[in-house]
Amino acid sequence: MKRLSVLATLALVLLASQAVALEVWIERPRPSEFVFGQVEVLIRAAPEKEVASVRLTVDGRQVALFDRPPFRIAVDVGQENTEHEFEVLVRSVDGELKSAAVVTPALQIDEVVDLGLQQLYVTVSGFGKRVLNLAEADFRILDEGKRQKIVTFERGDIPLTATLLLDCSLSMKGDRLAAALQGANEFVEGMKPLDQAMIMLFSDRLLRVTEFSEDRQMLSQALTRVEAAGGTSINDHLFLALSRLEAVQGRRVVVLFSDGSDVHSVLPMEGVLQKARSSRALIYWIQLRDPRENSEVPEYTSSWRNVEANRREFKELRLAIQDSGGRIEVVESLEELEEAFAGILAELREQYVLGYYPSEAKHDGGWRDVRVRVEKSGLDVRTRGGYFDY
Amino acid sequence: MQSGQVLAPRIEMRQRPSWRRRRIGPWIAAALWLCSQLVVPSYGYGKPPKLGPSEIQSRYRDVLSILAAGDEDRALEALYELETLVVGDEQPWKRVEDFWRLKLRTLREMLDADSLALLMPVMMLHHDANQMYLERDRPFLAGHSRIMSVELAEIYADRANSSGAREFSGWVMTSLGAMLWYPTSVVSSADLFYRAQMVDPGNPIALMGLGAAYERNANYEMAIDYLTRLLELDPENSVAALHRALCQMRSDETSRDQGLEALKDLQRPEEPSWVRSIAHQELARAQLLDDDVESAKATIRRGLAALPGDQQLALQLAWVLDGARRPKEALGVLGGIVPGDAQVPSPRLIYDVWEPSEMQDIRDRLRRDAAIGLPALADKLGVEAPAGGEQ
């Protein structure tokens, strides 16, 4: 009997020594760190081979779900000076759950803070296709012409938060609006579980807006029973969309659909351009254009602006889009619309995400030019053109 | 297919080699031409049959006789028949010019110093024909009617030389200009408004239309000139005052100061809400251009207090706050913006698409006034005037 109990004890000790306890902790940010804007989150779990999934929530909202290491992501916590809670929940291969949390403090007014990570969403294409097989070493980031060390590198599908900004002015009446709504619906249908979107319909005024939501049914519902009427205020509503996006975390995207240019906005595009740059959102413009139009830049007057001023507005809108790392998709027939929306979603799924800490940050509020190059010839690399160094 | 003119070349292109071999091409072409002449309707499309000058004049007198008898609807249809017969769809400028001269000659033969009033119903006939042609999608004939009506209006104003005649003629031309008014294409209207104010310098719609047209074309000096003339006649016209203020803001420095003062005046509670909204927006914009952010904020806040729920003022305030590095406050303001009714235009849209209003009342009055000339017209044409035609 005594012998049996010794054997049993030995077996238990042996089993216990084999089942190593799973541990999890958040390495970055640290609990004492003040965080604003883009923040690198680094989660450690040991042993990594025991990990089945890692879920990260920031301030109660799920922002990432990993199924393999590295458990590292850059998230945007917004510019508000407030506490942020980073919580991680790890499920082991045996179904065991472990969690860890870090709460970062709000900044006291007399303290100096180093705003850190710059995050770049990069689209690489060549020969009419996107290039998806690049490694971290293939990229070179130049901040004000100086090469930077890449600290985060990701590729593929990263959750996004998008505002679908649709022009419902009178010129969109009939088939045009129906096709645009259908295209936007395709975008919504193509969203993945961690993606969020907001529907914003406008003419010369805001007509409809939803909250940011993952609920595709609710978003699709917002794209029904819409009537085209009124004028066009792109600047005003682009500013509104960018501002609302700025308050959310993660990769931010505006998909603007319009067949015309701004006429009735109270805000000048020059001012919205600043917002576009500071918000760091990717802006895409699906521009429905009449193939009979000769000029790429529209030539029109209104009581508000003459031809020259309208031309300037248009160029600034184009600059905002270019600076954001997005693009203009010119569509000349309604049949191409669904494809245009789907194409943007596909592009977003195939971006590289590079993070770096600027080597010479000045925090003077000045604009810093950023370029990303790929060490391979013949490739087109698109990302945002820079950032304000606050 | 309306005629063989299109059909023949298509066949010819396909068949040309065999036609040449067999030498039957010219015969087929001749047969097709003959068919095309047979299937062309008597008027309305294709090449119209020719009418001699005397026949045109005679048929025009018939139209005027129907009008003189008091049946303008039937006169319009008869005019439509005659004009489509003579002019067709081909825009034959020479033929139209001749037609126009023949109609004027017909009228001139009837005119003397005592019968000038007969021009009033005739110019209204062509005025209404313009509308009819626009509705029937016959722009070339609409233009022809318009020219005829304007020509008669100018003759009447010049020859009658009375304030009543000038006012009537001015309104006819203004009404025609208003029919063509489309905010993004104002040249045709502006030409008619210009001619209207030449005969009647006090026509308010013509003056406002010219002001708006020049503003659209960024000719702010001319816009200010016409709007000032209107405001001298109608100092309470806040729409004209707003347009003039904004033109002044975009003109020279002295005018800008006047514009700023006017914008302050236009913020009064008795002004229409859209006028007040723009007065606040544009004053704030000017203050921002002067780097006076605090005054701009105060102006917009005052506007929002007076016009709660004004989307554009709220957006402008949020933008100013955001630029002043107060994003949280800006976001709070933006959070208060709620979607509006799609059918209710924003103040900036209302401003941009100024259009002549109450024109139907004016046209009804013109038709009533034009009846004064029916007895003179009937007398000249030897028909019986409708009872009560003379007032």
Token pair in block for residue A57: 């929530």
The one-letter code for the residue type at B81 is: E
Of B353, B221, B272, residue with least CA distance to A304: B353
Split at pLDDT 50, 70, 90, the class of B345 is very high
- Which of chain B's residues have a Cβ under 8 Å away from the Cβ of A205? 311-312, 339-340, 342, 344-346
- Residue in chain A closest to B351 (alpha carbons) equals A303
Could you tell me which residues of chain B have a Cβ less than 8 Å from any Cβ in chain A? Answer: 183-184, 212, 215-218, 243, 246, 281, 285, 311-313, 315-316, 318-319, 322-323, 327-328, 330-331, 334, 337-340, 342-346, 348-349, 351-354
Of A207, A209, A246, the CB nearest to B342: A207
Cα B147 to Cα B127: distance, rounded to the nearest angstrom: 9
Number of structural domains (chain B) is 4
pTM: 0.77
Q: Is the peptide bond before A47 cis (omega within 30 degrees of 0)?
A: yes
Does any domain span residue B190? yes
Looking at the fold, whether B240 and B161 belong to one and the same domain comes out as: no
Split at pLDDT 50, 70, 90, the class of B28 is very low
Split at pLDDT 50, 70, 90, the class of B27 is very low
Question: A161, A242 in Cβ contact below 8 A?
Answer: no
pLDDT confidence of residue B108: 85
Of B86, B169, B183, residue with least CA distance to B122: B169
Token pair in block for residue A263: 């006429």
Looking at the fold, whether B163 and B103 belong to one and the same domain comes out as: yes
Average pLDDT, chain A: 88
Looking at the fold, whether B389 and B374 belong to one and the same domain comes out as: yes
- Residue in chain B closest to A236 (alpha carbons) equals B315
Token pair in block for residue B372: 């004064």
pLDDT confidence of residue A108: 56
- What pLDDT, in 10s, does the model give residues A306-360? 889 999 999 999 999 999 999 999 999 999 999 999 999 999 999 999 999 999 8
Structural domain span for residue B307: 267-355
User: Roughly what angle, to the nearest 10 degrees, separates helices B374-381 and B53-68?
Assistant: 130
Token pair in block for residue B315: 């957006």
Question: B279, B306 in Cβ contact below 8 A?
Answer: no
Looking at the fold, whether B233 and B271 belong to one and the same domain comes out as: no
Looking at the fold, whether B298 and B322 belong to one and the same domain comes out as: yes
pLDDT at position A14 over 50: no
Within 10 angstroms of residue B1's Cβ, the number of other Cβ atoms is 8
Query: What one-character DSSP code corresponds to residue B319?
Result: H
pLDDT at position B185 over 50: yes
- Residue in chain B closest to A274 (alpha carbons) equals B323
Cα A344 to Cα A327: distance, rounded to the nearest angstrom: 9
- Preferred mutation among B312, B320, B350 to probe A, highest tally of A CBs within 10 A: B312
Looking at the fold, whether B128 and B234 belong to one and the same domain comes out as: no
Helix, strand, or coil (residue B133): helix
Looking at the fold, whether B11 and B65 belong to one and the same domain comes out as: no
* Residues sharing a CB contact under 8 Å with residue A183, sequence separation 6 or more, in sequence order: A257, A286, A337, A338, A340, A341, A342
Does any domain span residue B45? no
Looking at the fold, whether B125 and B136 belong to one and the same domain comes out as: yes
The CATH number of whichever domain residue B316 belongs to comes to: 1.25.40
pLDDT at position B8 over 80: no
Query: Measured between CA atoms, how close is B310 to chain A, in angstroms?
Result: 10
User: Roughly what angle, to the nearest 10 degrees, separates helices B204-216 and B238-249?
Assistant: 30
A267 and B315 in contact by Cβ < 8 A?
yes
Q: State percent of chain B over pLDDT 70.
A: 84
Cα A83 to Cα A314: distance, rounded to the nearest angstrom: 40
- Which of chain B's residues have a Cβ under 8 Å away from the Cβ of A265? 348
Query: Measured between CA atoms, how close is A380 to chain B, in angstroms?
Result: 34
Cα B371 to Cα A138: distance, rounded to the nearest angstrom: 87
Cα B252 to Cα A117: distance, rounded to the nearest angstrom: 48
> For strand A160-167 and strand A251-258, is the pairing parallel, antiparallel, or unpaired?
parallel
Q: What is the phi/psi pair of residue A270, to 5°?
A: -55, -40
CA distances from B221 to A32, B181, B218 (A): 64, 22, 9
- Which of chain B's residues have a Cβ under 8 Å away from the Cβ of A298? none
User: Which stretch of DSSP H or E encloses residue B256?
Assistant: helix B253-265
- Which of chain B's residues have a Cβ under 8 Å away from the Cβ of A206? 311, 337-340
Q: What is the DSSP string of B2-32?
A: --HHHHHHHHHHHHHHHHHHHT-HHHHHHHH
Topology of domain A21-104, CATH: Immunoglobulin-like (2.60.40)
Q: What's the average model confidence in pLDDT over B312-329?
A: 93
Of A241, A260, A170, A242, residue with least CA distance to A200: A241
Could you tell me which residues of chain A have a Cβ less than 8 Å from any Cβ in chain B? Answer: 79-80, 168, 201, 203-209, 227, 229-231, 233, 236, 239-240, 243-244, 246-247, 263-267, 271, 274-275, 300-304, 306-307
Of B215, B339, B343, the CB nearest to A209: B339
Topology of domain A160-349, CATH: Rossmann fold (3.40.50)
- Residue in chain A closest to B352 (alpha carbons) equals A303
Cα B43 to Cα B89: distance, rounded to the nearest angstrom: 9
- Which of chain A's residues have a Cβ under 8 Å away from the Cβ of B355? none
- Which of chain A's residues have a Cβ under 8 Å away from the Cβ of B212? 303
B215 and A303 in contact by Cβ < 8 A?
yes
Q: Give the domain-ending residue among B261, B291, B322.
A: B261
pLDDT confidence of residue B44: 40
* Residues sharing a CB contact under 8 Å with residue A272, sequence separation 6 or more, in sequence order: A235, A238, A239, A242, A316, A317, A320
The CATH number of whichever domain residue B244 belongs to comes to: 1.25.40.10
* Residue corresponding to tokens 């005027």: B64
Token pair in block for residue A14: 């042996």
Domain-wise residue ranges, chain A: 21-104, 118-152+352-389, 160-349
- Residue in chain A closest to B223 (alpha carbons) equals A303
pLDDT confidence of residue B92: 66
Handedness of CA B58, B60, B61, B66 (dihedral sign): positive
pLDDT at position A79 over 80: no
